[in-house]
Amino acid sequence: MNFEFSDEEYAFRDAVERFIEAHHDPEVMDVSRDNMSQLVDTPERRAFLVKLAAEGWLGISWPEEYGGQAGEGVFEYFLNEALARVGAPQIGKGVGIIGKTLMRHGSEKLKQEFLPRILNAEIEFAVGYSEPQAGSDAANMQLRATPSEDGEGWTLNGQKIFTTSAHFADWYWVGARSDPDAPKHRGITLFLIPMDHPGLTIQSMPTIGHEITNQVFFDDVYVSDEYRVGELNRGFQYISEALDLERFTLFPFSPVQARVDLLVDHVKQARCDDEALKDDPVVRDQIADLVTEAEVARVLGLRVVAASIKGGAPPTAEAAAFKLFTTEFSKRLAAESMEIGSPGTQLRLHTEDAPMKGRAEGTYRSTVNETIGGGASEIQKNILARRKLGLPKNF
């Protein structure tokens, strides 16, 4: 594997950095939100993404026939990592999960209606997979989709949970069980539903990370068959493809590296019992481990990029390995930052006189979610066992 980038790729990276510097705005860029900084959940953040779209960067890896630039995934990687590093909104679900799935499997109507709006940053999506009885096991979803009486659509009844973007999104990308008698992986269909549908009820669920997720209740929600995505009962296959993208694009590495750098800077300056913390052999050993593991996470991300450039099947195993290692490392980094930073790290985020201005405390609360969203760590281990090691499903 070649870890060097071309002159063209470096030039693009520099152009993105200049764009970020020219459009710096503390209302838009907040590194303390960690991976939730990717959300486009305020008017200011939407306006920023519109500026990004004007550069043609939202569709940089899309085929030209859909308005993209047919660029390789490494350009998307540079863009997302640079935006994540400063806590700015990222290309996210619309460009990755919804857009790329529609290009592969959507009808011409859906492509024409949604793809241009995604490229122009005119629309935001919520993704509805999880349910009270279907967390990481998305195939267990029970939201029921039954054929409507007019024979031209579907009626949805049931509940979704942990839909992070439901309180600000325009459209809902939803999986529902359309054939209750089929094996659970084969009876699911994907739909697109406007979030202002009168049959939807959204209840906010505040999290310990100071972010909002939501429960969504469906009460006779009618969906025209025109807004069914792809073939009937093949939704789980499409979801699985999209999750490969989510595991990588929604968990960028640069915020993790920034937190490693923040901890290293703290150790360089801090003192404990009148001794320089950087001279403590135990702390030095911890820092060495963290820096080494950060480099492992970075290279695992590059492997996903390299696999996507080759084309063919989605980089399932590579994405699972990156997601598993990086999110578990991120959680470990938060815990060790609390330990190394002394009891003062328990002070709340943005406390000026706290070690690292309370960043350790904030990430300690928020990083647990990273090991769950996009498929929990146990799911990633199962994927690697089957797809990479060739182990049987019930080993």
Question: How many Cβ atoms from other residues are within 10 Å of residue 10's Cβ?
Answer: 12
What is the mean pLDDT of the segment spanning 192-218?
93
Degrees to nearest 5, angle at CA 196 with 91 and 238? 50
Q: Phi/psi at 158 (nearest 5 deg)? A: 145, -150
For 325, the token pair is 């290692």
Q: What is the pLDDT of residue 312?
A: 60
CA dihedral 293, 61, 229, 114 (to 10 degrees): 120
Provide the greatest CA pair distance for the chain: 78
Question: How many Cβ atoms from other residues are within 10 Å of residue 157's Cβ?
Answer: 15
Same domain? 69 vs 147: no
Q: Which domain holds residue 308?
A: 253-388
118 is a domain residue: no
Mean pLDDT computed over every residue of the chain: 90
Tens of pLDDT along 246-294?
A: 666 678 899 999 999 999 999 999 988 889 999 999 999 999 999 999 9
Same domain? 350 vs 282: yes
Residue 77 CA to residue 94 CA, distance in Å, equals: 16
Q: What is the pLDDT of residue 23?
A: 96
Band of residue 102 on the pLDDT scale cut at 50, 70, 90: very high
Q: Answer whether 185's CB lies under 8 Å from 228's CB.
A: no
154 is a domain residue: yes
Residue 301 CA to residue 67 CA, distance in Å, equals: 27
Same domain? 227 vs 258: no
- Which residue is listed with tokens 């003192």? 271
Tens of pLDDT along 329-345?
A: 999 999 999 999 988 89
Q: Which is nearest to 119 in space by CA: 133, 140, 102, 135?
A: 102
Same domain? 257 vs 382: yes
Same domain? 84 vs 141: no
Same domain? 267 vs 374: yes
CATH number at residue 162: 2.40.110.10
Strands (E), 168-258: 171-177, 188-194, 200-206, 212-224, 228-229
Tens of pLDDT along 135-154?
A: 667 778 999 999 998 889 99
Q: What is the pLDDT of residue 107?
A: 96
Q: Is the pLDDT score of 115 beyond 90?
A: yes
Q: Phi/psi at 311 (nearest 5 deg)? A: 80, -170
Same domain? 15 vs 47: yes
Distances (CA, A) of 128 to 27, 41, 192, 194, 354: 28, 17, 10, 12, 38
Band of residue 295 on the pLDDT scale cut at 50, 70, 90: very high
Same domain? 304 vs 360: yes
Q: What is the pLDDT of residue 6?
A: 87
Q: Which is nearest to 102 in space by CA: 29, 28, 197, 192?
A: 192
Instruction: For strands 171-177 and 228-229, give the pairing.
Output: unpaired
- Which residue is listed with tokens 């999104």? 169
DSSP, res 358: G
Band of residue 311 on the pLDDT scale cut at 50, 70, 90: low
Q: What is the pLDDT of residue 221?
A: 97
242 is a domain residue: no
DSSP, res 384: I
102 is a domain residue: no
Q: Is the pLDDT score of 134 beyond 70?
A: yes
Q: Which is nearest to 174 in space by CA: 242, 107, 116?
A: 242
205 is a domain residue: yes
End residue of a domain, out of 234, 262, 288: 234
Same domain? 185 vs 266: no
CATH number at residue 273: 1.20.140.10
CA atoms within 13 A on the CB side of 219: 6
Q: What is the pLDDT of residue 245?
A: 63
Residue 300 CA to residue 190 CA, distance in Å, equals: 31
Considering only residues 366 and 222, tell me which one the structure prediction assigns the higher pLDDT: 222
- Residues 6+ positions from 129 with CB-CB distance below 8 Å: 138, 141, 160, 175, 239
Q: What is the pLDDT of residue 230?
A: 95
Q: What is the pLDDT of residue 240?
A: 83
Q: Answer whether 25's CB lies under 8 Å from 89's CB.
A: no
101 is a domain residue: no
302 is a domain residue: yes
Ramachandran assignment for 390, one of left (phi > 0), alpha (psi -120 to 50 degrees), beta (any other) = left
Considering only residues 260 and 313, tell me which one the structure prediction assigns the higher pLDDT: 260
What is the mean pLDDT of the segment spanning 93-102?
91
Same domain? 354 vs 262: yes
End residue of a domain, out of 69, 90, 111: 90
* pTM, full prediction: 0.88
241 is a domain residue: no
The one-letter code for the residue type at 180 is P
CA atoms within 13 A on the CB side of 123: 22
Same domain? 185 vs 214: yes
| Domain total of the chain | 3
Beta bridge partners, 160, equal 216
End residue of a domain, out of 66, 90, 114: 90
Tens of pLDDT along 214-242?
A: 999 999 999 999 999 999 999 999 988 77
SS3 350: coil
Q: What is the pLDDT of residue 197?
A: 97
Same domain? 259 vs 230: no
For the chain, give the percent of residues with pLDDT over 70: 95
